[in-house]
C-alpha cells in the first residue's frame, strides 16, 4: 500500500453495502467519498444520516452526487475528487439493483436499464479512474458482483447477465492493468439484509394485458418463498464491508472474495458438481422438481 492518506470512492452509498463500506473505510483512515444518485433523499441510510455519523465521529467522509447512469455525472464526480486530492487509491463499484421476472415478460427497455446501471455504470467509473491509477502506478478497483455472478437462479436472468458480464470483464482487464500496479478485486456476497431486496424491480408484461395470469406464476411463487427464507437468514451488509476492507488493505489481495456461508457453500458445490447435478440441486432447493 502507498504511504499517506488513501482516497476511496464508493458508489451506491445511500444504503446497504455501499453505506456500510463508506463508514467502514472512513473509520479505518481512508478519506472516503460516499457517492449516491440522490443526495437529497431522506430516511434510513440517506446522505443526512451518513453525514451526521461522520460529523459525530469526526470521520474523513464526504457525500457527493454521482449517478452511474449519467456519463456527465460520473466524469464530473471523478474529476472533482482527482482535482481535490490529486490521487484515487480505491474505487468500490457497488451501485446496482435486482430485476425479477421470466425473460418472456421482461421488456427490452427494462433489460437495457438494468445493464446500464449494473454493468455499464461500473464500466463508466472504471474508465474514468483507470488513467488516474495508471499514472500514479497504483490502485485497487473493487467490483461488487455477488454469488449471482458465479451461479444463476430462475427469474433473475438479466440480473445474473449483468453480474456474469462484470465478472468476465474483470477477469480480462486484470491482466491489462496489472503491469501498472492496478489490482482488480471481485466481492461475491450471498444474501445480504439491506434495501437491495426492497428496491428489487419486477418485470412488466409488454405483450399481455394486466388481467392475464402469467404462465410462470406457480413457479415464481415457489422461487419467491425460497428467497424470502434466504432473506430471513441474510447477513448484515457490514460483513461485506469487512471483506472489502480486508481486500483493499492487503498488499497481495485475492482476485475473488465470496462472502457469507451461502455464497461459499453454493460456489463450492458448483465447482464440484456436474451441470446436471447442480441443476438438480437447485430444482430441489426451489421445489421445482414437478414443474415442466
Is there a contact between 12 and 92 (Cβ–Cβ < 8 Å)? Answer: no
At 220, list the grid cell. Answer: 415464481
Q: Give phi and psi for 113, each to the nearest 5.
A: -65, -40
Helix (H, G, I), strand (E, B) or coil at 102: coil
Strand order of the β-sheet with 61-65 is 61-65, 31-36, 7-10, 90-93, 139-144, 182-189, 256-259
Closest CA to 50 of 26, 24, 23: 23
Active-site residue flag, 159 = yes
Considering 19, 33, 97, 159, which one is annotated as catalytic? Answer: 159
d(CA 183, CA 5): 18
Matching residue, cell 434495501: 195
Q: How far apart are CA 20 and CA 223, in angstroms?
A: 28
Give strand ranges (E) for 94-242: 99-100, 139-144, 182-189, 201-202
β-sheet bridge partners, residue 63: 34
Structural contact between residues 92 and 11, judged by C-beta atoms closer than 8 angstroms: yes
- The residues annotated with a catalytic role in the active site are 159
Amino acid at each position: 500500500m502507498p504511504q499517506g492518506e488513501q482516497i476511496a470512492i464508493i458508489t451506491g452509498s445511500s444504503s446497504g453495502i455501499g453505506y456500510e463500506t463508506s463508514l467502514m473505510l472512513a473509520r479505518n483512515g481512508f478519506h472516503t467519498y460516499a457517492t449516491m444518485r440522490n443526495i437529497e433523499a431522506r430516511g434510513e441510510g440517506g446522505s443526512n444520516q451518513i453525514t451526521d455519523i461522520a460529523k459525530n465521529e469526526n470521520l474523513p467522509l464526504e457525500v457527493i452526487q454521482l449517478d452511474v447512469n449519467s456519463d456527465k455525472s460520473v466524469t464530473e464526480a471523478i474529476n472533482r475528487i482527482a482535482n481535490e486530492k490529486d490521487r484515487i487509491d480505491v474505487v468500490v463499484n457497488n451501485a446496482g439493483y435486482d430485476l425479477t421476472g421470466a425473460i418472456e415478460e421482461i421488456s427490452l427497455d427494462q433489460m437495457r436499464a438494468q445493464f446500464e446501471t449494473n454493468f455499464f455504470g461500473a464500466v463508466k467509473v472504471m474508465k474514468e479512474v483507470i488513467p488516474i491509477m495508471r499514472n500514479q502506478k497504483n490502485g485497487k478497483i473493487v467490483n461488487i458482483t455477488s454469488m449471482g455472478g458465479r451461479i444463476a437462479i430462475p427469474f433473475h436472468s438479466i440480473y445474473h447477465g449483468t453480474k456474469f458480464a462484470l465478472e468476465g470483464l474483470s477477469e480480462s482487464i486484470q491482466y491489462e492493468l496489472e503491469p501498472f500496479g492496478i489490482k482488480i478485486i471481485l466481492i461475491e456476497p450471498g444474501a445480504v439484509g439491506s434495501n437491495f431486496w426492497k428496491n428489487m424491480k419486477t418485470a412488466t408484461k409488454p405483450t399481455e394485458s394486466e388481467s392475464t395470469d402469467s404462465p410462470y406464476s406457480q413457479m415464481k411463487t415457489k422461487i419467491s418463498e425460497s428467497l424470502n427464507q434466504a432473506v430471513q437468514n441474510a447477513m448484515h451488509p457490514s460483513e461485506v464491508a469487512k471483506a472489502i476492507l480486508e481486500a483493499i488493505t492487503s498488499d497481495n489481495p485475492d482476485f475473488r472474495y465470496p462472502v457469507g456461508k451461502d455464497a461459499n457453500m453454493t460456489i463450492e458445490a458448483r465447482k464440484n458438481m456436474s451441470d446436471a447435478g447442480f441443476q438438480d440441486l437447485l430444482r430441489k432447493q426451489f421445489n421445482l422438481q414437478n414443474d415442466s
